[in-house]
Amino acid sequence: ADKGLTFLCWYWLPLLPIFIVYLISGVAETNRHPFVVVEGEAEIVAGHMVEYSGMSYAMFYLAEYANMWLISILASIMFLGGWYAPIDSAVFNWIPGWIWLGLKTCIVVSLFIWVRATFPRFRYDQIMRLGWKIFIPVTLIWLIVVGGWMQTSFNIWK
C-alpha cells in the first residue's frame, strides 16, 4: 500500500482473509445488524439502550455511527491503499489523496449498510462461536502463512 502502484499491490490481496475478518468484526463491534444484541426481543429487558431516551439515546447512536466511520477509515488505510489511486496513471493521479480516501471509506460504509439490510440477526451463541472457533484460528493461521510467504523470494513488498 505504501508504493501506490496498483490496487493489486495494496494489502487487501495477500491479507484477504484478515480483511474479511476485520470487516465482519467491525460490523459486530459497531452493534450493527446482524450482530446487534442489545435490541433483541429476548434481551430487551436487560439491554442498556432501554434506559435511555431523547438526547442521550441519540448520543449512543451517534457514537455507533462514528465508530462505523472510524472502522471504515482504518480499513481503507490498512487494506485498500489509503489515499493512493487504484491505478498509477495520469488519469487518476490528479485527484487529491483525501478524495480517494473518502471514496474508499464511503464504499466500506456502504458495505456496512448493505450487510445490515441483507443478513438475518444472529443469536449470541452463534456470534461467540464465530469469533472463537472461526475468526481467531483463521487469523492466526493466515498470519503465519503470510509471515512465511514474506520470507520467500515471492515477496513483492521488499
Domain count across the chain: 1
User: Is a pLDDT exceeding 60 seen at residue 41?
Assistant: no
- Per-residue buried b or exposed e for 34-60, using 16+ beta carbons within 10 Å of the residue's own CB: bbbbeeeeeeeeeeeeeeeeeeeeeee
pLDDT in tens, 78-103: 998 888 888 877 888 889 989 999 99
Residue 100 resides in a domain? yes
Give kind and range of the element (H or E) at residue 105: helix 97-118
The verdict on residue 101 lying in a domain is: yes
- CA-CA distances (angstroms) from residue 76 to 73, 96, 110, 158? 5, 15, 13, 22
Residue 87, domain member (yes or no): yes
For residue 156, tell me if it sits in a domain: no
Strand, coil or helix: what is 21? helix
How far apart (Å, rounded) are the C-alpha atoms in residues 130 and 109? Answer: 22
The answer to the question of residue 81 being in a domain is: yes
Is 157 a domain residue?
no
Residue 89 lies in a domain: yes
pLDDT per residue over 131-142, tens digit each? Answer: 999 999 999 999
Q: Which residues contact 122 (CB under 8 A, 6 or more apart)?
A: 34, 35, 130
pTM: predicted TM-score of the whole model, two decimal places: 0.81
Domain housing 51: 7-150
User: At 76, is the pLDDT very low, low, confident or very high (cuts 50, 70, 90)?
Assistant: very high
